[in-house]
Structures are given as C-alpha cells and as structure tokens.
Amino acid sequence: MAMAAATPHSLLLKNPTNPLKPTSTQLAAFPTTTLSRLATTRKPISITCSAATTTTPLPTTPSTSASSDRVFNFAAGPATLPENVLLKAQSELYIWRDSGMSVMEMSHRGKDFLSIIQKAESDLRTLLNIPSDYAVLFLQGGATTQFAAIPLNLCQPDDTVDFIVTGSWGDKAYKEATKYSKPNVIWSGKSDKYTNIPSFDSLEQSPRAKYLHICANETIHGVEFKDYPTPKDPNTILVADMSSNFCSKPVDVSKFGLIYAGAQKNVGPSGVTIVIIRKDLIGNAQPITPVMLDYKIHAENNSLYNTPPCYGIYMCGLVFEDLLAQGGLVEVEKKNKKKAQILYDTIDASNGFYRCPVEKSVRSLMNVPFTLVKPELEADFIKEAAKEKMLQLKGHRSVGGMRASIYNAMPYAGVEKLVAFMKDFQARHD
C-alpha cells in the first residue's frame, strides 16, 4: 500500500531536537516561495522560552530583509500593526513560552491564557489610567454589536438618549438605538457632509437623557473630537465609540460612563472589541437582552463567559506592551501629531491640487481624507502609489476620493514616503 504524501507538519514532528530548523527532507515539502521567505526572515529572530510569568521583550528593530518585503498599509481597518509586535508574535507562534503549545491552542481557562488576558488588562489600565471603579471587557462582535448592547444595558425602552452625529458610524449607532430606546439626534453634520463638529454650549440636550453618545473619531469622514462634551444633566453619562482613535492619545476615562472600541485599527487584529464601563452601570440590562450582550455576565466572568478571541487578545497585549515601551500615550500622541502635520501641510500647500474637506480644527490624526482637483487622476494616483508599495489609499466607497489612515503603527517613514509621492504626482499632473 502506497504511503500518504508527507506534509510539512508531519515532517516537522520528525525533527524534535530543533523544530524550527527544517531538515533537507522537510525543505522539499515547502514551495520555493515559502523557502525564500524562511531564508530571509528566520535569521534575525531570536526565540526564548521562559516562565509564563516572565515578559519576553519585544524586538527593538525589525529585520532588514523582512521590512523590505512589507508595504506601507494605509488601510482603515484591519490596519497595519507594529513590525516588532508581529516579529514577537512570529517568534512565539509555534510554542508560547514554556507552555508547549501555541496561544491559538490554549484553553481559555488555563493558567497560561489567564496570565495573557490579565496582563493585557493590566497594561491597558496603565496606558489609559483607568480608575478601579471601571470594568474592562474583552468582547466580540465589533463596535457595531455595541450599537445594540449599549441601549440594552443602559436604559429601558422608553428612556431618552441623545446623539451627536458627526459621521456614518454615529448615524448607524443612532439607528440601532431606535430599536431599544428613544434616541434623539441633538446635532447632525449630515447637511455639511460630516466635515465639522458643533460647539457644545449651543446644543439643546434632552432633560433626563440616559446617555449622550458620540463617535470620538469618524473613520470614514476624518472628523475627530479634540475635547468632549459634558452632559448638562449630572445623571446623563457620556458614551463614546473610540474605535479608530483608541489608545492614540491620553483620555480622561473618568469623564465617560462607557468607552468602546473595535481593536482592528490601533491595538490589534480584527475580532476583539474592548468595552470600558463604570461598574455602577452594570446589572440593569433590559429583560430581552441576549446573554452575550449583557455586560453583567461578562464582568462577572472576567470576559471568559464563553471562549473569547484568545489570539486577538494576546496580540492586543503585545501592542499594549509596545505602547508602554514607547513611553505611554503622551509620547504616542506626539508621534501621531507629527505624522498628521506633514500630511495635512502637504495637502494645504498644494494650491488646491489636493483638498481635505474637513474643518481644520477637527481634522483627525488617524484618518486623513482628501480629493484631487481632477477626479479622473484618482485611479492613476492609487495605481502609481501601489507600485511604490503604498496600499489601501482609496477612500471609502460612500465618499470617494482618497484616505490615508495613519494609525499608531504607521511609521513616520511611511507618511514621509506618501508626502514625497504626492508632491511628485502633483508636479507631473498639475
């Protein structure tokens, strides 16, 4: 009887002394392209097994060969991740520390994963200086699921809630809230195509509103709150969707009753949703609330009621470590301002060849939308940028134009390269 063809995985098991060093037999089982990548990326990586309670330092410098193969990814989300975080994850992918297995294989109730999720929460609390009377939840379903979870947990069907709608995501949150509460839009920027943010003093807030909802940074339209409104009723809480500027700058968490964010823009891969909620707001969910949307269930079970997105949480933890190593969010914000400044300066100095429609005082540090004076050049712009290894610059389908998302992990060199390309493109087409 003929033997089944050997797979790379089965051959790997035949080399137990050094499972990360393939034998000549194993090499034959990999495609040529895979071998080439192994040869260029394996050498700089040092893998250390240590006790689960010990933190392995993040690589400080990515390998030259690995870096040269990577593009500058300006996608709005899922988005670019820090190279040193990816290299750390790569080094721990096959076996995490002394666990004998990958994080992807761990029981979410075992001591190894418990150490991962607990450290991730601890580091996030340090980054944002989260008070002890706030719970941190690692959930699933994206920020969109929270559009329903928030009214279900914070109010009853006849309760009024206020919305400041500064873009598409705020509008979607409002529409979902109509199913579970009585939402009231106290301001909308739709008539101006979501290019500004109102003066808070002029807003007529609803008396006895359960909460005031904002989207702190509108990913599609590039509008960002630089400070935050204070509800006039002391019993009204402030709720913010911070998906696209989460951990990009310091935030006074105590001003909010609830903060929520999808991880896939600034702090990890897609699949993790983070909720930071004041503990006294937990436990009053509407009777119809599904168990998976009840904050009380998740808080009581430390985000482990069911199997969480384990690997995504692990990756978020690595990003939190990296942000702390940079000096925390004060230093991170300085870098983000520097990157955004050179991009906006280039747009503003182009004599109209490029144009950002957003009011200058509320331009996002994370998502920079812009148009070309000649729309017919947009396809060429995207095509030529891609040849220079700058991808995902096409604007959202609902607004068109271009959009450069320059999250925490986008290096300054990436924005410098984009700016140089923009100037050259203008010189050739103006």
Which residues are identified as catalytic? 169, 241, 265
Residues 185, 179: contact at Cβ < 8 Å?
Answer: no
Pairing type for strands 217-218 and 223-224 reads: antiparallel
Return the structure tokens found at 99.
């666990």
What DSSP letter does each residue of 278-337 carry, written as one string?
Answer: EGGGTT---TT--GGG-HHHHHHTTT-SS---HHHHHHHHHHHHHHHHTTSHHHHHHHHH
Residues 278, 134: contact at Cβ < 8 Å?
Answer: yes
Paired residues of 258 in beta bridges: 239, 277
d(CA 333, CA 83): 19
CA distances from 338 to 49, 73, 111, 156 (A): 38, 18, 41, 44
Kindly state the helix (H) or strand (E) to which residue 369 belongs, with its residue range: strand 367-372
Count of CB atoms within 10 A of residue 35's CB? Answer: 13
Phi-psi category of residue 352: left, alpha or beta, with phi > 0 → left and psi -120 to 50 → alpha: left
